Amino acid sequence: MPPSAGSIIHPHVQILVEREPLPMQSELLKKSEVYFEHNGQNYWEELTE
């Protein structure tokens, strides 16, 4: 177990809701679109395979 005195390992997730993507999310969307244009495949589906 990690030294945090926690008994259950679990992720901490913060959710942000905005009208437009945050800069990093926007960059990921643009790059995945470029990937699709060059490869004809969805980057995220390829990544999970």
Q: What pLDDT, in 10s, does the model give residues 19-45?
A: 888 898 899 999 999 999 999 999 999
Amino acid at residue number 24: M
CB 12 within 8 A of CB 4: no
Is pTM beyond 0.85? Reply is: no
Q: What pLDDT, in 10s, does the model give residues 1-19?
A: 555 656 666 677 677 788 8
Kindly list the domain boundaries of the chain, sorted by start residue.
21-49
Based on C-alpha coordinates, what's the Rg of the chain?
A: 17
| CA-to-CA dists, residue 15 to 1, 7, 35, angstroms | 26, 24, 26
CB 38 within 8 A of CB 44: no
